[in-house]
C-alpha cells in the first residue's frame, strides 16, 4: 500500500479528477494548499503597495492505494495536471503502514478497495 500525494495547479484539478475516475481510482482526499516550487514570482500592486507573491495556490490530492493502483494513480495525476509550464506540481509516493476503514473495521488492502469493487 502506498500513499500517493499529488500537488497540482488549481485550474487542473477538475482534469485530474476526471482522469482519476477514468483510471478507476475513486477514493481520495483533496485540500487547498499554498506552496512554492521554483516557478517565477507574480508581481501584484495594490495602490502604492507592490508585492511579490512567493506562494502559489495549489490543490493537494492524497490517494491511498493498493500496490496495483500506484502506477495508474500516478499516470492519472500526470495526465490531468500536465500543462508543460513550470509550476505543474509534484507527486510524492510514500509507504503506508496501516489503513483502517472506520465503518467496518476492515484493514489494509480491503480498506483501500472501494465498496462493491
Partner 1 sequence: MIDTGDTAWMLVSTALVLLMTVGLGLFYAGLVRSKNTLNTFMMCIAAIAVATVTWALVGYSLAFSEGSWFIGGLDYALLNGVMFDPIDNPFFVDADGAQTIPHLVFFAFQATFCIITVALVSGAVVERMRFGAFLLFAALWSVLVYSVLAHWGFGGGWLVAGGTLDFAGGIAVEMASGFSALAAALVVGARKDYGRQAILPHNAVYVLLGAGLLWFGWFGFNGGSGFGINNLGVLAFANTLLTPACTLLMWFLLDHLRGRRITAIGAATAIIVGCVGITPAGGFISPIWAMVLGFGVAIPCWAVVAFRPRTRVDETLDVLAAHGIAGFTGILFIGFFAQAEWNGLADGLVFGNPEQLLDQVLAVATVPVYAFVVTYLLLRLIGFLMPLRASSQEEGQGMDVIYHGEEAYATGEGAILVRPDTPIEEVLAGTKR
Positions touching partner 1 (CB under 8 A) are 9, 11-12, 14-15, 34, 36, 40-46, 48-55, 83, 85
Shortest distance (Å) from residue 74 CB to partner 1: 22
CB of 61 to partner 1, least distance (A): 17
* CB nearer to partner 1: pick between 46 and 114: 46
Helix residue ranges, H only, 50-116? 70-81, 108-112
Q: In sequence order, what are the residues at sequence separation of 6 or more whose Cβ sits closer than 8 angstroms to the Cβ of residue 35? A: 7, 55, 56, 58
Nearer to partner 1, 83 or 104 (CB): 83
- Could you tell me if 34 and 58 are in contact, meaning their C-beta atoms sit under 8 angstroms apart? yes
Amino acid at each position: 500500500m502506498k500513499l500517493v500525494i499529488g500537488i497540482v495547479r488549481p485550474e487542473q484539478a477538475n482534469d485530474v479528477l476526471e482522469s482519476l475516475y477514468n483510471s478507476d481510482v475513486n477514493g481520495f482526499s483533496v485540500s487547498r494548499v499554498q506552496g512554492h516550487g521554483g516557478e517565477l514570482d507574480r508581481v501584484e500592486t495594490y495602490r502604492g503597495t507592490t508585492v511579490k507573491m512567493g506562494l502559489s495556490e495549489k490543490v493537494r490530492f492524497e490517494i491511498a492505494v493498493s500496490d496495483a493502483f500506484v502506477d495508474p494513480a500516478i499516470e492519472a495525476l500526470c495526465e490531468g495536471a500536465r500543462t508543460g509550464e513550470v509550476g505543474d506540481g509534484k507527486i510524492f509516493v510514500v509507504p503506508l503502514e496501516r489503513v483502517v476503514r472506520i465503518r467496518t473495521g476492515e484493514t489494509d488492502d480491503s480498506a483501500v478497495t472501494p465498496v462493491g469493487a
